[in-house]
Amino acid sequence: MGSGIAKEHINTMTERRHASGGQSTTTITMLTKAVTHIRLSETNACKLAALDELAPVYQALCQAYVTYFCTEEAPDKFHDPVFATPLSERWHRVAIQQAAGMARVWRTNRERAYQNYLEEMENYLETLATPDSDRKEPEWKEWNTPVLKQVCIQANINVVAVEVSNDSTFDYWLRISTLEKRKTIRVPVKLADYHRKVLQGKTINGSVTLNKRGDGWWLTLTYDEKIAVQTEPDAPVIGVDVGIANFLTASDGKHYGTFHGKLRERQKRRRKAKLRACLKKKGVKKLPSTSSKSGQRLTRHVRQEINRAVNSCLNEHPAAQIAYEQLSVVSMKFKARSMNAYLRASNLARIPEKIAWETAKRGMAATQVKSAYSSQECSICHYVERKNRPDQQTFCCIVCSFSTHADHNAAINLAHRKGDRELHACQDRHAIKALLTRRHEQWRKHQGWS
Ligand SMILES: [Zn+2]
Predicted confidence (pLDDT) per residue in 34-47, tens digit: 999 899 877 677 78
C-alpha of residue 443 to centroid of ligand 1, in Å: 9
C-alpha of residue 441 to centroid of ligand 1, in Å: 11
Residue 6: per-residue pLDDT:
42
Cβ neighbourhood burial of 422 (10 Å; 0-12, 13-18, 19+): exposed
C-alpha of residue 329 to centroid of ligand 1, in Å: 30
Residue 382: per-residue pLDDT:
98
C-alpha of residue 63 to centroid of ligand 1, in Å: 51
C-alpha of residue 380 to centroid of ligand 1, in Å: 5
**Higher per-residue confidence, 411 vs 372:** 411
C-alpha of residue 385 to centroid of ligand 1, in Å: 10
Predicted confidence (pLDDT) per residue in 245-300, tens digit: 788 999 999 999 887 655 555 556 667 777 777 777 777 766 665 555 666 777 77
C-alpha of residue 400 to centroid of ligand 1, in Å: 4
C-alpha of residue 240 to centroid of ligand 1, in Å: 20
The Cα–Cα gap between 62 and 401 comes to 56
C-alpha of residue 365 to centroid of ligand 1, in Å: 30
Residue 138: per-residue pLDDT:
84
C-alpha of residue 134 to centroid of ligand 1, in Å: 27
Cβ neighbourhood burial of 7 (10 Å; 0-12, 13-18, 19+): middle
Strand partners, 34: 222
CA torsion, ordered 189, 195, 198, 199, to nearest 10 deg: 0
**Higher per-residue confidence, 330 vs 285:** 285
C-alpha of residue 43 to centroid of ligand 1, in Å: 70
C-alpha of residue 137 to centroid of ligand 1, in Å: 29
C-alpha of residue 405 to centroid of ligand 1, in Å: 14
C-alpha of residue 417 to centroid of ligand 1, in Å: 17
* pTM reported for the whole predicted model: 0.76
* Residue 4, pLDDT above cutoff 50: no
Residue 446: per-residue pLDDT:
94
C-alpha of residue 369 to centroid of ligand 1, in Å: 21
C-alpha of residue 373 to centroid of ligand 1, in Å: 14
C-alpha of residue 440 to centroid of ligand 1, in Å: 8
* 311, 355 contact by CB (below 8 A): no
List C-alpha distances in Å: 9 to 331, 353, 396.
22, 10, 39
C-alpha of residue 384 to centroid of ligand 1, in Å: 8
**Higher per-residue confidence, 133 vs 392:** 392
C-alpha of residue 379 to centroid of ligand 1, in Å: 7
C-alpha closest to that of 247 among 197, 149, 155, 314: 314
* Residue 199, pLDDT above cutoff 60: yes
**Higher per-residue confidence, 341 vs 48:** 48
C-alpha of residue 102 to centroid of ligand 1, in Å: 43
C-alpha of residue 334 to centroid of ligand 1, in Å: 26
For 66-69, the CB contacts below 8 A with 24+ separation are 66/99, 66/102, 66/103, 66/106, 66/145, 66/146, 66/148, 67/145, 68/99, 69/99, 69/100, 69/102, 69/103, 69/104
C-alpha of residue 116 to centroid of ligand 1, in Å: 24
C-alpha of residue 402 to centroid of ligand 1, in Å: 5
The rounded radius of gyration (Å) of the Cα atoms in the chain is: 26
Predicted confidence (pLDDT) per residue in 298-323, tens digit: 777 778 888 999 999 999 999 999 99
Q: Which residues surround ligand 1, an ion (CB under 5 A)?
A: 378, 380-381, 383, 397, 399-400, 402
C-alpha of residue 398 to centroid of ligand 1, in Å: 7
Predicted confidence (pLDDT) per residue in 54-97, tens digit: 999 999 999 999 999 999 999 999 999 999 999 999 999 999 99
C-alpha of residue 259 to centroid of ligand 1, in Å: 30
